[in-house]
Amino acid sequence: MSSHHRTALVYDFDGTLARGNVQEHSFIPEIGLSKEDFWSEVKRRTKHHDADEILVYMHYMLEAAFESGHPITREALEAHGKSTPLFDGLDTWFERINEYGARQGLEIEHYIISSGNLEFIRGSEITQHFRQIFASKFMFDEDDEAIGPALAINYTNKTQYLFRINKGIDNAWDNDAVNRWIPLDDRPVPFNRMIFFGDGATDIPSMKMVRHQGGCSIAVFDPEAFSKVASQDKIHRLIAEDRVHYVAPADYSEGSQLEVITKGALGRIAREAGSRSG
């Protein structure tokens, strides 16, 4: 067994590792809608039914896909996921960070907690790098066709999955385990050995919780959208409201600002854990 300290890097997906929302790149055009029309209808239904927006968008995906003659299967969604544009540098990010962590005496584990679709994420080029992916997902029948939502992860219950990581629970179903009291010193991945990466409103509770539990929270933004007033306003609020430690462009390339920040955070984690820097 490794003597290194288990350390979790936890990422949102849409807007954090990938540009935009995963549904927008090929799925929504395939069913004959614009992304503006799709999300506008989701917002309308959410308000009309006083509903959870994640459940509403998943239901609307099923409805619109059926009406357009494109039933949702696991294979089809994963194929859509292959077209998801990722931010620069992610093709080598995980190996670089793992190697750096190992030199610091840390065993790096990567996780996703996302309100986006698990099936899309599993089709992406980087899915193999994650120990576990917690994301909204569908139930499928014996013909592999989606029949309804199986799991909806919204902005508030994202924090539940941080506790699952904290306690070493690699599933979404075991509620007894996640609610069971475990002494802080016995938890496999303490919060002060977590780094959370997020970009938007659905990440705010998680970023703030990790920050206040002694971990590190990093907000990223699409470099191509930085000039937009809405993007800058979002960054201003995250800093002003003390939600995050750092803000950086979502550029995962070697030598990028984000890499420097992440390595600095890992160095601090290693020092506090009593590991030797290499």
Q: Tell me, what's the pLDDT at 107?
A: 97
Q: Tell me, what's the pLDDT at 226?
A: 72
Report the CATH fold assignment for 5-19+84-272: Rossmann fold (3.40.50)
Q: Tell me, what's the pLDDT at 1?
A: 39
Q: Tell me, what's the pLDDT at 240?
A: 76
| Sheet with 5-11: strands ordered across | 146-151, 132-140, 106-117, 5-11, 194-198, 216-221, 246-249
Spell 111-145 as b/e; 16+ CB within 10 A means b. Answer: bbbbbbbbbbbbbbebeebbebbbbbbbebeeeeb
Q: Tell me, what's the pLDDT at 236?
A: 76
- Rounded Cα gap, residues 202 and 164, in angstroms: 18
Q: Which long-range contacts (CB under 8 A, 24 or more apart) does 126-135 make?
A: 126/17, 126/86, 126/90, 126/91, 126/94, 129/94, 131/170, 132/165, 132/170, 134/161, 134/164, 134/172, 135/13
Q: Specify the domain boundaries for CATH 3.40.50.1000 within the chain.
A: 5-19+84-272
Q: Tell me, what's the pLDDT at 3?
A: 62
Q: Tell me, what's the pLDDT at 2?
A: 54
Mean pLDDT, consecutive 10-residue stretches, the chain (278 aa), reads: 82 94 92 95 97 96 94 93 94 98 97 96 96 97 94 92 96 93 92 93 87 94 79 76 87 97 96 73
